[in-house]
Structure 1
Amino acid sequence: MRLSGASYMGATNDKDALALKLFSKIVSFRSALSAIAMAFALPACAQVAPKPVQAANDADPALWVVKDKDTTIYLFGTIHVLKPGMTWFDEAVKTAFDRSQQVVLELVMPDANKMQSLVMATGVAKDGPTLTEQLPADKRAAYAKAVTDLGLPANAFDRFRPWLAATNLSIAPLSKLGYDSENGPEHVITAAAKAAGKPVIGLETAEQQLGYFGGLSQKAQLQFLGTTIDELPELETTMATMVDEWAKGDPEALAREMNDSLKDSPEVAKVLLVDRNARWAEWVANRMKSPGTVFVAVGAGHLAGQDSVQAQLAKLGVKAERVRY
């Protein structure tokens, strides 16, 4: 596979293919070091049986409900990748799912060929300065190390736009730490919905999600990549902390963790978190006009903090209540 004429500064075609395959396996977002990773869906929609768990580790993640006399909408925050052995699809979460006639995720993944085409159109630059050349000199060595730690040549991502390199670098290492999208809520929920015959729709399309990244200014993209490079050494600790906060149902702690990662990137925060929360809140408010029960599962970062979906709903006069269990 060739990248429409793009080359990686001497990398072989096989390496080109490997780099893009890597992205197609881990794409979206969303980056375990920030709310961005919580905000975007990994390709967890493949209908593959979850891997057997070794030992149960009970989790009680946060769940909210919005309801009136004939409509109920549950809001469940997910972490897109998890280690095996954590039990969360039970108790109130499973009850809410079972009661729902429809499941709503951030994204229902398109087929692999379409996704690859979208990634190439949005995240690959055919010419111009290489990504290494665009980075500040003091970031280049750490960037090269991060890429080679993935088993790729240091220049493998040099035709990638900064946002695409950042998402690869922040998500790809998680598999080495034992995290897998097959254990993530999106995969489990999608499989359960298929088994139960429940329709599954997405709040956004792949075109939209990739467009949010591609629409970021070059300055914001390079800041995103620079922050990712700086925080990679703490990835294992950061991810473990976020999963623990999610498992305990502590959205405020989760919000503090994420807000710290976004403090230097106001444009990224606005485009990928705040604006999307507002749109999703409008979707929920409009859906309340039709009867039925809906189970909405989005990245936990969207349901935490002062700009959360719940906060946006409050501005629309719609109250979301925490489900205690």
Structure 2
Amino acid sequence: MFKLIRSILLGSALGLAAPSMAQTAAPAPAPAPAAAKLPDTDPALWVVKDADTTIYLFGTFHALDGKTDWFNDGVKKAFDSSSKVYLEVVKPEDPAAIAPLMQKYAIATDGKPLTSKLSDKGKKDFAAALAELGAPPTAFDTFKPFFASMMLSVLQAQKLGKTGEQGAEAIITAAAKQVNKPVDQLETLDFQMSMFDALPEAEQVRLLEYTASTIDETPALFARMTKLWNDGDAEGFAKLINEMQSQSPMLYDVLLAKRNATWAKWIDNRLKEPGTVFIAVGAGHLAGKDSVQDYLAKSGIKTARVNY
């Protein structure tokens, strides 16, 4: 249950300036020396074309440990040939821009502490998860349940040495800046936060309690998902998506299906303009039924896997 949601939560959370409590996590291991030769990996890449337009679709992993070399070969070639990059969301460079969003969406306004909304088991699991991750017991007291889930995911990723600074979006953004390539976004942080905030509180609590109760399983889950990504295994991601749909149709519809349909319409419109662009979104959005490619196909638009 909720396995793929961990990645989606993490992606949105990493778009925010890390709250101070997230810094209590164990420090990430030092990255490999620059001179070390890293293992080559080949994440999945697709292309959509018409007579005068080329759109690359690259599936990202939001938090990585910098221990593989993936930004090369076909991915780098596609990036280099593109005049513009589009991400799910562009992280604001000014941390001050995050404060209004935190106040608007992350902070509970009902005056009830977060733990009062949890079941007895949920309270125990949540306390144990905070202790495991080195966060103070009251660190999340004022947060809404969905945002507490986000922060647990960030803390666990940090503990495993996986950070947004080493994630695919950060690497792509840095490369674009080096060559003055424009970077734009398909969504905004405001939209993403509102999307989670609009979930019924009961669903938010269910997500938080699951995240807390399975914190010990996260290392194995992250390892599995990272391998799927490194191997370009879209079918493996599709299996995770199927699990998500069966366990929580609401989250599946809100966080995946509807957004994928919207992005497919955007791509359809972008095909009317000439040129080459590079779109980088979470790998889970480009796999299985109701993927971006699936919605494009329903509109008669073909996508092709780039083999490299």
Fold-level similarity (TM above 0.5): yes
Quote the residue 1:301 is aligned against. 284
> How big is the shift at 1:119?
1.5
**In 2, Cα distance between the equivalents of 1:179 and 1:200?**
23
Structure 2: gaps of 5 or more residues: 18-30
Quote the residue 1:87 is aligned against. 69
Q: What SS does the aligned partner of 2:157 have?
A: helix
| 1:270 matches 2:253 | yes
Quote the residue 1:27 is aligned against. none
Alignment deviations for residues 180-222 of structure 1 (CA, whole Å, 9 cap, x no partner): 2222111111111111111100001111111111111112111
TM-score, L = length of structure 1? 0.84
**Could you tell me whether the CA contact under 8 Å between 2:244 and 2:252 is conserved in 1?**
no
Structure 1 runs of 4+ with >6 Å offset: none
**Could you tell me whether the CA contact under 8 Å between 1:102 and 1:200 is conserved in 2?**
yes
Q: What SS does the aligned partner of 2:214 have?
A: helix
Q: What SS does the aligned partner of 2:58 have?
A: strand
Quote the residue 2:115 is aligned against. 132
Given the alignment, which residue of 205, 208, 213 partners 1:222? 205
* One-letter code aligned to 1:254: F
| 1:36 matches 2:8 | yes
**Could you tell me whether the CA contact under 8 Å between 1:38 and 1:302 is conserved in 2?**
no
| 1:260 matches 2:232 | no
**Could you tell me whether the CA contact under 8 Å between 1:38 and 1:301 is conserved in 2?**
no
User: Residues 33, 278 of structure 1: CA spacing in aligned structure 2 closer, same or farther, 3 A cutoff?
Assistant: closer
Structure 1: gaps of 5 or more residues: 1-29
**In 2, Cα distance between the equivalents of 1:286 and 1:61?**
26
| 1:176 matches 2:159 | yes
> How big is the shift at 1:38?
6.8
> How big is the shift at 1:265?
2.1
Q: What SS does the aligned partner of 2:109 have?
A: coil
**In 1, Cα distance between the equivalents of 2:173 and 2:13?**
12
> How big is the shift at 1:40?
3.8
Identity of aligned residues (%): 46
Given the alignment, which residue of 72, 76, 89 partners 2:58? 76
Quote the residue 1:105 is aligned against. 87
Q: What SS does the aligned partner of 1:270 have?
A: helix
Quote the residue 2:293 is aligned against. 310
* One-letter code aligned to 2:279: V
**In 2, Cα distance between the equivalents of 1:38 and 1:148?**
20
Alignment deviations for residues 290-313 of structure 1 (CA, whole Å, 9 cap, x no partner): 000000000101101201110011
* One-letter code aligned to 2:100: S
Moved more, 140-149 or 261-270: 261-270
Q: How many residues align?
A: 292
Given the alignment, which residue of 40, 51, 66 partners 2:48? 66
**In 2, Cα distance between the equivalents of 1:141 and 1:171?**
20
Given the alignment, which residue of 233, 239, 243 partners 2:216? 233
Q: What SS does the aligned partner of 2:86 have?
A: strand
Alignment deviations for residues 65-93 of structure 1 (CA, whole Å, 9 cap, x no partner): 00001000000000011112210111110
In angstroms, what is the RMSD of aligned CA positions?
A: 2.2
* One-letter code aligned to 2:15: P
Given the alignment, which residue of 247, 270, 284 partners 1:287? 270
> How big is the shift at 1:52?
4.5
Quote the residue 1:6 is aligned against. none
Residues 127-206 of structure 1 aligned to structure 2 (within 5 Å):
127-206=110-189
**Could you tell me whether the CA contact under 8 Å between 2:146 and 2:208 is conserved in 1?**
yes
Q: What SS does the aligned partner of 1:295 have?
A: strand
| 1:56 matches 2:56 | no
**Could you tell me whether the CA contact under 8 Å between 2:4 and 2:284 is conserved in 1?**
no
User: Residues 107, 203 of structure 1: CA spacing in aligned structure 2 closer, same or farther, 3 A cutoff?
Assistant: same
**In 1, Cα distance between the equivalents of 2:282 and 2:101?**
22
> How big is the shift at 1:33?
5.7
**Could you tell me whether the CA contact under 8 Å between 1:163 and 1:222 is conserved in 2?**
yes
**In 1, Cα distance between the equivalents of 2:38 and 2:16?**
21
> How big is the shift at 1:260?
2.4
Quote the residue 1:119 is aligned against. 102
